[in-house]
Amino acid sequence: MKNNNKLWKALAAALFGWMLLLTPSCTDEFEELNKAPWAISEDNVPIEYLFQAAVSNSKMDPHISERIFLLYWGSASRYIRYDGLANGNDNDSWSNDYWSRGYFWGWITSLQNVIDIGAKRETAGLLKPYEKNVIQMARIYKVMLFSNFVETFGDAPYFEALDRKTDYPKMDSQKDIYYDFFKELTEASAALDATVPGTPIGNSDMIYNGDAAKWKKLANSLRLRFALRLSEVDAAKAKAEAEAAANASGGLLTSTAEIASIPQGGGWDGLTGVFTRSWTGLELTIDMGNLMTGLGGVPFKDPENLYTKQSVRNYMGIYAPLMIPKTNEPRSQFIQEGVPETIDPRASVFFALPGTADHNWTSAQNFQYTVPTETGQTKPIATRYSWHARPHGSYGTVGTTAPTGFTGVGNRPVMVKKYRQGVGVRHELFGPWETYFLLAEASVRGWSVGGTAKEYYNRGIE
């Protein structure tokens, strides 16, 4: 009996030992069985999907595009009339939305994840050839997004911005950030391999469909863009970078087939056109109106009998002396009747006259201003078929110092429906005309960029 007990104890011990040996193997197998085949992790995520998410979302949905693209950039550039920055007004909530992880920092995080995950795979020897190009695309696009951020707000957290080890990343100067832009673009351009087919990337790259050669051109062209931005503050660095970019391997973006752009349309998502909201006026600014007046001699596309031409050489418009006198706009107290005799041929491509079918506001069809004159009397002025914009500033009491209805939305030229609706029109990030204008300016400054200012300028306006 004792011998039997010893035998059983020995057998039990042996069995337990075997169980201990087998346990890790079984545990590993159970862990494998417990993994959902559809689960995404750093090990299996297609990094081109992360890149696609960053690009499509950074195109800006209507919420953030109205706040940043229109109220900030459109207003500050004087391209679209908004009473935001152009009137000295801002709103912290617009900036807070932009800075949030749902928007800018979310886009940047997605791009940084592409770079970091790609680096881990490269270290492990698991990086696919096309993924190396995706990493460089992410570096280039990250620079593009950060350049917009820095040009909007100035100094910003950059080098430590995505460092999870610190809750308070330091602010970096624009100079240091721009110098890193040049480094990133130079390295990314050199690392792009145009011999690797972009097929695996495909539609995940909505800009160039995986074409590494075009990304290389974009990187070099961005380097040229940023160099010219430094021309008045850091001339030596600007000259060096511009000349290097103009002569970089892969060349510059110089044809319409190489335009960097993102598809857009209607709806409400990141790919919605930035001008699509029905409540936005998208009026011609006084600045754009002045710039386009007196240039060229091409009439509007509308029949001439729709409007009255006025000579801009000896006619400023109807004088309304009580209206916004405190501004440096020379025509601030004049209201333009009809269309100037000569006008930039691009005017009717971008803006529609009130009363035309391409104008978005039907209220302008038969609207008239009631303009107070210096004699105390009033005069009606039809807004229909009139090339007139209103300057920024205080208009005083409507009906006494300002024309009745003058501040109403849509009573002036507005952006044409083609761009307002955004359907079938891609959102352009960089075109060859900019490359040629940058080269023209570089040539004027005496930099070695391979051609004359006249040659490059003419190519830009072709």
What is the structure's pLDDT at 6? 43
Contact predicate 47/114, CB 8 Å: yes
3 state SS of 339: strand
Q: What single DSSP character describes residue 88?
A: T
Backbone φ and ψ of 250, nearest 5° = 100, -20
Distance CA 34, CA 56 (A): 34
Neighbouring CB atoms inside 10 A of 177's CB total 20
Long-range CB contacts (< 8 A, 24+ apart) of 363-368? 363/408, 363/410, 363/411, 364/410, 364/411, 364/412, 367/405, 367/408, 367/411, 368/405
Helix (H), strand (E) counts: the chain: 15, 12
Instruction: Give me the tens of pLDDT residue by residue for the chain, a chain 462 residues long.
Output: 444 444 344 434 433 333 444 444 455 555 555 667 667 788 899 999 999 999 999 999 999 999 999 988 988 888 888 777 777 777 889 899 999 989 999 999 999 999 999 999 999 999 999 999 999 999 999 999 999 999 999 999 999 999 988 889 999 999 999 999 999 999 999 999 999 999 999 999 999 999 999 999 999 999 999 999 999 999 999 999 999 999 999 999 999 999 999 999 888 999 999 999 877 788 898 889 888 887 777 776 677 777 777 777 777 887 776 666 667 777 777 878 788 888 888 888 899 988 888 887 776 667 777 776 667 777 777 778 888 888 776 655 554 555 666 666 677 899 998 899 888 899 999 999 999 999 999 999 999 999 999 999 999 998
C-alpha span between 85 and 50 (Å, rounded): 34
How far, in Å, CA of 11 to CA of 154, rounded?
Answer: 76
Count of other CB atoms within 10 angstroms of residue 420: 21
pLDDT of residue 11: 39
What are the helix (H) ranges across 35-123?
47-58, 62-64, 75-76, 92-99, 104-123
Q: What is the distance between the alpha carbons of residues 172 and 108, in angstroms, rounded to a whole number?
A: 16
Q: How far apart are CA 428 and CA 435, in angstroms?
A: 14
Residue 295: the pLDDT is: 75
The tokens of 6 are what?
């010893």
Residue type, 360: N
Residue 458 CB neighbour total at 10 angstroms: 12
Domain ranges of the chain: 47-60+103-262, 277-421
CB atoms within 10 A of CB 208: 19
Contacts of 176 (CB under 8 A, 6+ apart): 158, 159
> Considering the domain 47-60+103-262 in this protein, what is its CATH number?
1.25.40.390
Residue 400 carries which side chain, given as an amino acid letter? T
Can you give the pLDDT at residue 16? Answer: 39
The rounded Cα 341 to chain-centroid distance in angstroms is 34
The confidence score (pLDDT) of residue 383 equals 78
Calpha distance 370→405 (Å, rounded) = 8
* 41: amino acid identity, one letter: S
CA atoms within 13 Å, Cβ hemisphere of 269: 10
- Which residues, other chains included, contact 107 with Cβ-Cβ below 8 Å and sequence gap of 6+? 54, 57, 58, 145
How confident is the model at residue 32, as a pLDDT? 58
Burial class (CB in 10 A: 0-12, 13-18, 19+), 395: middle
280 and 266 in contact (C-beta within 8 Å)? no
Coil, strand or helix: which one is 130? helix
Which tokens hold the place of 136? 């460089």
